[in-house]
């Protein structure tokens, strides 16, 4: 037969099971009562209108070239590539920078400055980049715009990075990227700096 302790343990388990069952029944009953008391009516008009842009290549090609950027050319010549390398750590999870380095989530960025858009071998670029008409190459200005807010500069890009708000950070990263080359690009000329500063 059962001992007194076994019977008590069994009774305790029955109490727990009954409590859980009762709680479930109360919750179900409350839901049914709420359904009777509240008669939801469908909205005639949405409170918020959400527009979704078509991600097709034609829509991306027709998109504007992105927001106006602060002048960066004057800062690049004096920017510290070592500081840029530190800021670039935010990018290193997705981009390699070694000569002959492999593509990661993003393409390898060795010799990226002044390279044509979308040419890194073995990387599957987004249709947004392939159709982009805002720049032909990753020059100083294109890098500045893209690094500021990639999704605004190039709508439809796959790059998930939010961007670098500070123009000084962008200049430092661009100065660092400039050093990643067998023959680094020339610094911007005084004429180019003046043209950018005047909005031209």
| Radius of gyration in angstroms for the set of CA atoms belonging to the chain, rounded to a whole number | 30
**Domain range for 116:** 57-197
Listed as own residue / partner, the contacts of 94-100 with beta carbons closer than 8 Å and 24 or more positions apart are: 94/161, 97/177, 97/180, 99/182
Residue 76 placed within a domain: yes
Task: Give residue 42's pLDDT.
Answer: 61
Residue 48 has pLDDT above 70, yes or no: no
Task: Give residue 167's pLDDT.
Answer: 93
Residue 63: pLDDT band with limits 50, 70, 90: very low
CATH of the domain at 64: 1.10.760.10
Residue 52 placed within a domain: no
Task: Give residue 130's pLDDT.
Answer: 87
DSSP summary character for residue 59? H
Give Cα separations from 127 to 55, 59, 116, 132, 133 (angstroms): 9, 10, 15, 8, 12
pLDDT tens by residue, 76-95: 888 999 999 999 999 999 99
Of residues 48 and 95, the one with the higher pLDDT is 95
Residue 4 placed within a domain: no
**Measuring CA to CA, which residue among 147, 161, 13 is closest to residue 76?**
147
Residue 39 placed within a domain: no
Q: Over the chain, what is the mean pLDDT?
A: 83
pLDDT tens by residue, 4-45: 677 777 788 888 989 999 999 999 998 888 777 776 666 566
Residue 57: pLDDT band with limits 50, 70, 90: very low
d(CA 190, CA 195): 9
Task: Give residue 59's pLDDT.
Answer: 44
Task: Give residue 170's pLDDT.
Answer: 94
pLDDT tens by residue, 174-189: 999 999 999 888 888 8
Residue 191 placed within a domain: yes
Q: State the average pLDDT over residues 95-99.
A: 93
Domain count, the chain: 1
Residue 200: pLDDT band with limits 50, 70, 90: low
106-68-136-200 Cα dihedral, nearest 10 degrees: -150
Residue 87 placed within a domain: yes
Residue 190 placed within a domain: yes
Residue 64: pLDDT band with limits 50, 70, 90: very low
CA 103: distance to chain centroid?
A: 18
Backbone angles phi, psi at 85, to 5 degrees: -65, -35
Work out the percent of the chain whose per-residue pLDDT is above 90: 42
Residue 119 placed within a domain: yes
């Amino acid at each position: 037969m059962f001992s007194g302790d076994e019977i008590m343990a069994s009774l305790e388990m029955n109490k727990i099971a009954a409590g859980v069952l009762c709680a479930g029944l109360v919750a179900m009953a409350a839901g049914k009562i709420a359904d009777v008391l509240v008669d939801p009516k469908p909205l005639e008009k949405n409170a918020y209108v959400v527009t979704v842009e078509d991600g097709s290549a034609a829509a991306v090609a027709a998109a504007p070239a992105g927001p106006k950027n602060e002048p960066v050319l004057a800062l690049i010549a004096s920017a510290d590539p070592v500081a840029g390398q530190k800021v670039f750590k935010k990018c290193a999870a997705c981009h390699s920078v070694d000569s002959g380095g492999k593509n990661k989530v993003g393409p390898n960025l060795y010799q990226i400055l002044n390279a044509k858009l979308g040419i890194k071998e073995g990387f599957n670029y987004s249709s947004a980049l392939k159709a982009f008409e805002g720049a032909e190459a990753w020059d100083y200005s294109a890098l500045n715009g893209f690094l500021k807010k990639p999704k605004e500069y190039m709508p439809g890009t796959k790059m998930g990075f939010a961007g670098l708000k500070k123009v000084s950070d962008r200049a430092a990263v661009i100065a660092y990227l400039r050093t990643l080359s067998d023959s680094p690009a020339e610094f911007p000329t005084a004429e180019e700096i003046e043209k950018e500063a005047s909005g031209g």
